[in-house]
A and B are shown apart, each in its own frame.
Chain A
Amino acid sequence: MTDTSRRTFLKLTGGTVGAAMLPFLKAMPAQAQSGGTIVVVSGQTINSLDLHRTGTNRASYQVAVNCYDRLVSFGTKDTPGGGLSYDYSVIEPELAESWTISDDGLVMTFKIKSDATFWDGRKVTAADVKWSFDRAVSAGGFPTVQMKAGGLERPEQFEAVDDETFVIKLDKPSKLTLPDLAVPVPFIINSEVAKANATEEDPWAMEYLHTTPAGSGAFKVARWDQGQQLVYERNDAWVGGPLPSFQRVIVREVPSPATRRALIERGDVQMSFNIPNKDAAELDAKDGVDVYSTPIENCIHCLCPNFNFEPFQDANVRKALAYAIPYEAIFQTAAYGRGAPMWGGEAEITDTAWPRKSPYMTDMDKAKEHMAASGFASGFEVPLSISLGLADWMEPTALLMQEAFAQIGIKAEIEKIPGANWRTAALVEKRLPLHLENFGGWLNTPDYYFFWAYKNGHLFNSSNYLNEEIEQLVDDTLHIPMDDPSYAPKIKRMFEIAFEDLPRIPLWQPALNVAMNGASGYEFWFHRQLDVRPLISAPA
């Protein structure tokens, strides 16, 4: 068995994990000596290398992050639980060297780094930025919606003044515009390469970039075997940030969580991305594997009573639900204590922190009082809907709720909906009387959360909630700066109404769990995908 001996030999000679492995034995023996390699396993599959394409799934967003640059990026901060996180409050340059915003907030001028080049060696110009932004607002679907959130809607808003100067004109000033330029969507493409591969029917080169990225980012794609692996190769000419430590990053798809766990425990892979809560809790208790559980910013698991369902139009019934939920038991059973509790908070709202604990806690007596005071004292039957695609947390949660609601006379029948139907039933048709929901906003401000989840008719307002004051407050606060004097009082008022009306009953803030063995430097991002750039090999 020649290969076994060679591998054993490699393990004996190498120092750190990264340097010890020689990936692609036959193909690249010479390069393997410099830099290192890290192997990451993930249960998700990457289905495109182009985020703008229709049907590109979430796992594929990592290619936009690792292989492309944006004008700006977010800073880095320490998280309370250890580990690193992106910092929403700090905007850092990536391809832009500097930027200015006019006094009226309507014109943003970006100066592009003069030494920035694409992988083919050509200089990054403002024309490339313009072409990429035009593409994002014209592609339709998710990228266009996300651009719109920052007030970027039409190609006419973007102008390449000269090679290094790019200008954005806005219809109205918004605090969301600059952060929206740091999300994965407005990434900058080598427009010359793309145009050379565009066709009449496909002016944005969707087919070409789908399999062949053309960017300026920290990593190139060395190999993509759909359904199996993605191999990143470092771009040594990257100027968007500090040069990554690893020469090569191999992301392998391993669907079975049990197999991923065996691999990370054995140390044959250095990172297991997005592991189940149960594994996170158990691996955390063991030596050798580092587990990072970061509560996902601006994301809350909720129970949503639908206002279309008659009993839930009664405020007392909604409050009875909120007092009957066995929060702690659910948090321990469904989340294995990973994440942050969202119940038992102070009654008085003194700051604008979000997500925040609701003033409700498990109190059966109060629940019964509210039930008795409602117009439905004798109880009623209601289906409690969950998605089979999210059964890992929804099913135990629903079972515990079913038991608790029975005690206050609400007979909840659990209805399991296939993953493919869930979106249509819960969010588009909004027809589920009582269901679980987990919206998370990319842009980390409370008004952005309320815009999607509390405004009537908006996608994640699956409770059909309508409150005129909330509508007005969201419109007032969505674009104004967070240090505007009127901002905090309005946000606090929004929280008060939300907790009084309870169209969404907060349960807990979920966590993204990552296990590492022999590597470190993991940084949490709001997009919940793997940023391989800051990873480093752990000291031996």
Chain B
Amino acid sequence: MILGRVAQAIPVVMGVVVISFILTRALPGDPAAYFAGPAADEASIAEIREALGLDKPLFQQFFYYVGDLARGDLGTSLTTGQTVMSDLAARLPASLELTLVALLLSCGIAIPLGVLAATRPGTWVDHLCRILVTAGVSMPTFFTGIVLIYVFYYLAGIAPSPLGRLDFIYLSPPHVTGFYLIDAALAGDWETWFGALKQLILPATTLALFTLAPIARMTRAAMLSALSSDFIRTARAAGLGTRKVLYGYAFRNALLPVVTTLGMVFSFTLGANVLVEKVFAWPGIGSYAVEALVVSDYAAVQGFVLAMALLFVALNLIIDIAYALIDPRIGLK
């Protein structure tokens, strides 16, 4: 059944390949002129255009692109000078690690907070939840990031230098997954593991504050609606314990919308954490895509869009499976 779901994704990915190719070509700007440098003349721009294959007709360029893609070659990024594949391999794990840690953190706070707020509406917990939610959505991440740096690094001096994934006194752990926490743990290098964790705390908190809002709000709303349902009244009337009613019935039913929200939050965070990446010098995928877009770096933009599309397909698959596990009424059929 999972195979069937994967098969459904194939036309989506093909569509993404075509659209990303056409859209990048529609971007304003001439990469050849841009990369020829400040003092280039007509001849050198033409040379570069030829080297990039941009002098060929569009359909021929597309043909080459699909051919390369079939061989697993995403091309070379002009901005970074690396192959797009190695860029993505280096940067995607950085973004994923940051986003996942941030989401774990925000779920760890938001879900209990939402449940508490729903069970005690109108009390101080509910108000706290409301304040956090409002503050979280209304503060832009770059602002929260800079405030956190200012307070914890600049003033208090407890946070490490915001210099990316690792301070310069550490070497990055041997590459296995690209996730520093996992790689360092695999290598048994706990010093580097703590080093990577320390660098993660501030940016992950920044992102967590931002993602907390939708999750907490959704948990609270879903719990409230679940708690006011007939089956909860029946369960209570049948004399089931509060714990059983709350977690066995209400929470499990409330989880469906929460998981949906989580999937959405994850996908937009991964794309939208570019500002956090900039502030914390995090070598992630968001800043990579933005820089590539600014200079019309075709190969990099296409590679990014494709990687994101595959990631979203995988994410949707995981969410579908999670649905089936949470709610037996939804099968994978």
Q: What is A's interface to B at a CB cutoff of 8 Å? A: 1-3, 7, 21-27, 39, 41, 45, 47-48, 53-58, 60, 140-142, 144-146, 149, 210, 225-229, 250, 252-256, 258-259, 262-263, 265-266, 268-269, 389, 418-421, 423-424, 428, 452, 459
Say yes or no: B283 contacts A252, CB within 8 Å: no
Q: CA–CA, A226 to B79, complex, Å?
A: 10
Say yes or no: A428 contacts B33, CB within 8 Å: yes
Say yes or no: B195 contacts A3, CB within 8 Å: yes
From 152 to 183 in chain B, residues with beta carbon under 8 angstroms from any chain A beta carbon are: 153-154, 157, 161-165, 168-172
> Of B41, B79, B171, B192, which is within 8 A of A459 by CB?
B41
The answer to whether A145 and B39 touch (CB under 8 A), given A227-B288, A259-B279, is yes
Q: Quick check: is B11 within 8 A (CB to CB) of the other chain?
A: no
Say yes or no: B30 contacts A228, CB within 8 Å: no
Say yes or no: B296 contacts A228, CB within 8 Å: no
The answer to whether A2 and B295 touch (CB under 8 A), given A47-B79, A262-B150, A423-B34, is no
What residues on B are CB-neighbors of A229 within 8 Å?
Answer: 164, 168
Say yes or no: A227 contacts B91, CB within 8 Å: yes
Chain A residue with the shortest CB-CB distance to B157? A266
Which of B43-51, B238-246, B314-322 is near enough to bind chain A?
B43-51
Complex A-B: 13 CB contacts under 8 Å = A22-B169, A23-B168, A25-B169, A26-B192, A47-B78, A141-B36, A141-B48, A228-B165, A254-B281, A258-B146, A258-B279, A259-B146, A421-B29
From 1 to 42 in chain B, residues with beta carbon under 8 angstroms from any chain A beta carbon are: 27-31, 33-41
Q: CA–CA, A142 to B39, complex, Å?
A: 6
Q: CA–CA, A268 to B154, complex, Å?
A: 10
What residues on B are CB-neighbors of A3 within 8 Å?
Answer: 191, 194-195
Q: CA–CA, A431 to B145, complex, Å?
A: 41
The answer to whether A420 and B294 touch (CB under 8 A), given A142-B40, A145-B44, A266-B154, is yes
Given contacts A45-B291, A227-B91, A256-B278, 9 further A-B pairs with CB under 8 A are: A26-B170, A26-B192, A57-B79, A226-B80, A228-B165, A253-B164, A259-B162, A424-B30, A424-B33
Q: Quick check: is B82 within 8 A (CB to CB) of the other chain?
A: yes
Say yes or no: A146 contacts B194, CB within 8 Å: no
> Of B30, B47, B79, B191, which is within 8 A of A26 by CB?
B191
- Give chain B nearest CB distance to A126 CB in angstroms: 28
Say yes or no: A262 contacts B164, CB within 8 Å: no
From 72 to 120 in chain B, residues with beta carbon under 8 angstroms from any chain A beta carbon are: 78-82, 87, 90-91
Chain A residue with the shortest CB-CB distance to B28? A421
What residues on A are CB-neighbors of B280 within 8 Å?
Answer: 256, 259
> Of A1, A45, A55, A252, which is within 8 A of B163 by CB?
A252
Q: CA–CA, A41 to B288, complex, Å?
A: 19
Say yes or no: B35 contacts A262, CB within 8 Å: no
Say yes or no: A47 contacts B81, CB within 8 Å: yes
- Give chain A nearest CB distance to B179 CB in angstroms: 16
Say yes or no: A420 contacts B81, CB within 8 Å: no
What residues on A are CB-neighbors of B294 within 8 Å?
Answer: 389, 418-420
Say yes or no: A1 contacts B194, CB within 8 Å: yes
The answer to whether A256 and B279 touch (CB under 8 A), given A2-B191, A26-B170, is yes
Q: CA–CA, A58 to B34, complex, Å?
A: 12
Say yes or no: A265 contacts B33, CB within 8 Å: no
What residues on B are CB-neighbors of A48 within 8 Å?
Answer: 81
What residues on B are CB-neighbors of A60 within 8 Å?
Answer: 81
Say yes or no: B36 contacts A142, CB within 8 Å: yes
- Give chain A nearest CB distance to B45 CB in angstroms: 8
Q: Quick check: is B287 within 8 A (CB to CB) of the other chain?
A: yes
> Of A1, A53, A255, which is within 8 A of B281 by CB?
A255
Say yes or no: B40 contacts A145, CB within 8 Å: yes
> Of B38, B51, B168, B281, which is within 8 A of A54 by CB?
B51
Q: Quick check: is B149 within 8 A (CB to CB) of the other chain?
A: yes
What residues on B are CB-neighbors of A47 within 8 Å?
Answer: 78-81
Q: CA–CA, A225 to B86, complex, Å?
A: 11
Q: What is B's interface to A at a CB cutoff of 8 Å? A: 27-31, 33-41, 44-45, 47-48, 51, 78-82, 87, 90-91, 142, 146, 149-150, 153-154, 157, 161-165, 168-172, 189-192, 194-195, 277-281, 283, 287-288, 291, 294-296
The answer to whether A263 and B81 touch (CB under 8 A), given A141-B36, A227-B288, is no
What residues on B are CB-neighbors of A144 within 8 Å?
Answer: 44
- Give chain B nearest CB distance to A68 CB in angstroms: 17
Say yes or no: B40 contacts A418, CB within 8 Å: no
Chain B residue with the shortest CB-CB distance to A423? B33
Q: CA–CA, A204 to B153, complex, Å?
A: 47
> Of A1, A22, A45, A269, which is within 8 A of B79 by CB?
A45
- Give chain A nearest CB distance to B33 CB in angstroms: 5
Q: CA–CA, A342 to B28, complex, Å?
A: 34
Q: CA–CA, A269 to B164, complex, Å?
A: 14
Q: CA–CA, A253 to B282, complex, Å?
A: 9
The answer to whether A227 and B283 touch (CB under 8 A), given A145-B41, A262-B153, A421-B28, is yes
> Of B35, B36, B154, B172, which is within 8 A of A265 by CB?
B154
Q: CA–CA, A509 to B33, complex, Å?
A: 26
Q: CA–CA, A268 to B157, complex, Å?
A: 11
What residues on B are CB-neighbors of A254 within 8 Å?
Answer: 162-164, 281
Chain A residue with the shortest CB-CB distance to B150? A262
> Of B40, B80, B189, B190, which is within 8 A of A141 by CB?
B40
What residues on B are CB-neighbors of A41 within 8 Å?
Answer: 163
Say yes or no: A55 contacts B35, CB within 8 Å: yes
What residues on B are CB-neighbors of A56 within 8 Å?
Answer: 81
Say yes or no: A225 contacts B172, CB within 8 Å: yes
Q: CA–CA, A25 to B168, complex, Å?
A: 9
What residues on A are CB-neighbors of B278 within 8 Å?
Answer: 255-256
Sort A-B residue pairs by CB-CB distance and give the 6 closest, nearest first.
Answer: A420-B29, A142-B37, A47-B81, A254-B281, A48-B81, A55-B78
Q: CA–CA, A424 to B36, complex, Å?
A: 11
Chain B residue with the shortest CB-CB distance to A145? B39
Say yes or no: A140 contacts B48, CB within 8 Å: yes
- Give chain B nearest CB distance to A3 CB in angstroms: 5
Say yes or no: A228 contacts B48, CB within 8 Å: no
Say yes or no: B149 contacts A259, CB within 8 Å: yes
What residues on A are CB-neighbors of B161 within 8 Å?
Answer: 263, 266, 268-269
Say yes or no: B281 contacts A259, CB within 8 Å: yes
> Of A55, A58, A459, which is within 8 A of B81 by CB?
A55
Q: CA–CA, A266 to B158, complex, Å?
A: 12
